[in-house]
Amino acid sequence: MISCQIDKRLRAAGGEMQFRMDLQVPRGQLLALYGASGAGKTSTLRMLAGLMAPDAGRIEVGGNVWFDSTSGINLRPQQRGLGFVFQDYALFPHLTVRQNLEFGAPKDQKAVVDELIDLVELGGLQHQRPGTLSGGQKQRVALARALVGRPSLLLLDEPLAALDLKIRLKLQDYLLRVHREYGLTTLLISHDLGEIHKLCDRVLVLEQGQVVREGTPSEVFQSDRISGKFKFTGEVLGIQPQEFLFLVTVQVQDQVVQVVALPSEVRALAVGDRVLVASKAFNPVLYKLD
């Protein structure tokens, strides 16, 4: 259980910004932070990890106080014992995959390292250096390394943003697996609605350092009114007028589908919009997101 109320003046691209976060995360939840860049998502994770100090407030995790401005408590990152996956992975370039994991492992924990290498299926690459690995492989090393200290809290800063779709889908499965298998509480920054829908129990939408919406992914992304049998998020690639209708080409994850739409539905759409493709009764219908 994480309970955190923190304030901080942040310097963002558009001048100063007041960051305020009042957050309760139950144990075992997979929570997404969503929002434009500069909204304070990464700062939230950094303050939880102890890499940045809030100006005021209190952070309590699993009954332990990590930060309390009134009593002057501020645990160092080393004392917090959480897992953090950085956007650039931050693998140690001079160490092999295995040494990367061992570096942070408590002493005599060879078994943990072996288990994690198996879990992310890196056995064949364990003696290579990160420089020779692909993006997806590096990401798996970073994930495994973050779990070496057996944390109960895992923070992921846009872990899959730099990867292509196919690998991203596979890594989402890895994330979900470690989240469940290790009973983690996970905070994930993501810009990918599909990813959030697939992985997360709850999502917070941040704007200008404030939480502006929160709820389950379907609630937050306004799809609660739909009683569809299936629904996917995708991106509009093209809109072609036909005789009476429009043919909208949508990319849903790694496939491209075409959906028939009425002129009234198409009016609000443009190429590049994110949409929800849902089947109501007959044809799939498109709903514009955000």
Partner 1 sequence: MNWDPLILTFQLASITTLILLGVSIPLAAWLSASRSRVKPVVETLVSMPLVLPPTVLGFYFLLAFSPGNAFGQWLDQWLGLQLVFSFPGLVLASVIYSLPFMVHPIQSGLSALPASLKEAAYVMGVSRKKTLLRVLLPNIKPSLLTGIVLAFAHTVGEFGVVLMIGGSIPGRTRVASIAIYDEVEALNYGAANFYSAVLFVITFCILLLVYLVNGGYIKRFWK
Which residues would be at the binding site for partner 1 (CB under 8 A)?
49-51, 76-84, 86-88, 90-94, 103-104, 145, 148-149
What H or E segment, with its residue span, contains residue 186? strand 185-189
Provide, rounded to whole angstroms, the least separation between the CB of residue 257 and partner 1: 38
- Distance from C-alpha of 258 to C-alpha of 239, rounded to nearest angstrom: 9
Provide, rounded to whole angstroms, the least separation between the CB of residue 149 and partner 1: 6
User: Token pair for residue 114?
Assistant: 């072996």
Tell me whether residue 153 or residue 266 sits nearer to partner 1 (CB atom): 153
What H or E segment, with its residue span, contains residue 173? helix 165-181
Which of 250, 246, 290, 252 shows the shortest CA–CA distance to 264?
Answer: 246
SS3 state at 284: strand
Provide, rounded to whole angstroms, the least separation between the CB of residue 199 and partner 1: 22
Tell me whether residue 148 or residue 203 sits nearer to partner 1 (CB atom): 148
Tell me whether residue 51 or residue 176 sits nearer to partner 1 (CB atom): 51
Tell me whether residue 87 or residue 251 sits nearer to partner 1 (CB atom): 87
Tell me whether residue 76 or residue 225 sits nearer to partner 1 (CB atom): 76
SS3 state at 208: coil
Provide, rounded to whole angstroms, the least separation between the CB of residue 216 and partner 1: 29
Provide, rounded to whole angstroms, the least separation between the CB of residue 155 and partner 1: 9
- Distance from C-alpha of 40 to C-alpha of 209, rounded to nearest angstrom: 5
How many Å is the Cα radius of gyration of the chain? 21
Which residue reads 């943003």 in tokens? 161
